[in-house]
Structure 1
């Protein structure tokens, strides 16, 4: 049997995004109808719609992403978590804002990982932004650190910055544990923590609910992780997410 073509992989992923219901229909259709986005690999997290120039995680982070705004409409952020583009009244407007900021020579999604894309000669001259830790290891703050004498916000912000540069454990790509896709679980929890940090220590009710549900799901999956690298990665994600939940007694918005 022939290996699937890149176009088939991307199209199948768009179908999966439509079926999982994480993204508003209006936003999905606006993005899918734009040819320059439809050729990219979509992925989602807590209502966010992201676009990657490669098909394997951790995906590229050189394209802005969009999520519903708390007061209606949409908000375009990125490419990185700590960067913001601005509000959009409609899904079409949000899509246009993303298209305006696509990297140079942004073509069809590459079949492979960000690291493989980085060294592939056909990726073009554009600058490839990936999660920094995808190319280097990083020393984390230990879980025993607790909240110390710093404020909740200072500790969680520091943990988030340290977690963000960590490489995703390769052996857990495409793996489901306790009924959970480990890549999507990572994206959902990281998205909630990132939003909490960017909002100055606040979460809306919707994301707070997702944070609690995903934290419970991770607690069910953790005992099934046998890979040492993966276990360390998800234990740190659990620790950071639990602190975020504890530091958010009431939802905003």
Structure 2
């Protein structure tokens, strides 16, 4: 149990650090034809992160939304290059970490 708590704490710290990095990042140039969809995914994932930091919990609806967003991001990533790819890989990592931390 202590090992699981330590892992959860580590994931929580990773989530906080990654969130700080993402908040400081600018929107990437050259997103391409999926910019609208990617902007929506970014907004939804970031909204879930904000909710989690305020409530310290994720409800089942947000878990389902995050799972859908991660699937959509996975499909979109192969079409991206350089700066947009780095940005949206980070969004995907934020969502995945949030699911790990939020499910404990």
Structure 2: runs of 5+ lacking an equivalent: 1-5
Distance (whole Å) between structure 1 residues aligned to residue 37 and residue 88 of structure 2: 13
1:148-204 alpha-carbon deviations (Å, 9 max, x no partner):
89532222112111111100112227x327xx711111111111122112222x111
CA RMSD of aligned residues (A): 2.4
Determine if the alignment matches structure 1 residue 232 to structure 2 residue 86. yes
Which position in structure 1 is the counterpart of 2:29? 170
Equivalent residues in 2 for 1:142-153, closer than 5 Å: 150-153=9-12
TM-score, normalised with respect to structure 1: 0.36
Checking the alignment, whether the CA contact within 8 Å between 1:172 and 1:183 is kept in structure 2 is no
Which position in structure 1 is the counterpart of 2:39? 183
1:182-232 alpha-carbon deviations (Å, 9 max, x no partner):
1111111111122112222x1111111111100111011111112x00001
Which protein is bigger by CA-based radius of gyration? 1
Alignment partner of 1:168: what SS? coil
Checking the alignment, whether the CA contact within 8 Å between 2:58 and 2:103 is kept in structure 1 is no
Equivalent residue pairs, number: 99
Q: Where is the helix percentage greater, Structure 1 or Structure 2?
A: 2
Equivalent residues in 2 for 1:10-29, closer than 5 Å: none
Distance (whole Å) between structure 2 residues aligned to residue 234 and residue 148 of structure 1: 25
Structure 1: runs of 5+ lacking an equivalent: 1-146
The higher relative CO (CA closer than 8 Å, separation ≥ 6) is in 2
Distance (whole Å) between structure 2 residues aligned to residue 166 and residue 214 of structure 1: 20
TM-score, normalised with respect to structure 2: 0.80
Which position in structure 2 is the counterpart of 1:160? 19
